[in-house]
Amino acid sequence: VQLVESGGGLVQPGGSLRLSCAASGFTCSRAAMSWYRQAPGKARELVATITTGSRTNFGDSVKGRFTISRDNAKNTVYLQMNSLKPEDTAVYYCRLWTSQEYWGQGTQVTVSS
């Protein structure tokens, strides 16, 4: 199983980014897919999850600003991030969970003016 994140970068406060997590070796619709993030000096935190039944949940700090979605045809999960704040700056990781977990390599998101 391989997960490859992309879409990170530098954005101004209030801006938007869409992260992608392309999965190979496993059908992501058959797994719980999550986005986590880790800022320097802080613990990794859950950002969003989409279940096999397409239920979603979000961390309190991103509710109302971020959405998670899945394109089964592309075997890809997305994280749409709107109204970005400097405190959203972190490395964002994709996680696939079935009977075991798999992680991507991460993509850097920097929110700064």
Distances (CA, A) of 86 to 17, 42, 96, 110: 13, 15, 27, 7
The pLDDT, as a whole number, for residue 86 is: 97
Please report the pLDDT score of residue 2 as a whole number: 96
Residue with structure tokens 């997960």?
3
What pLDDT score does 73 carry? 96
Q: What is the pLDDT of residues 31-67, one digit of tens each?
A: 999 999 999 999 999 999 999 999 999 999 999 999 9
Contact predicate 5/20, CB 8 Å: yes
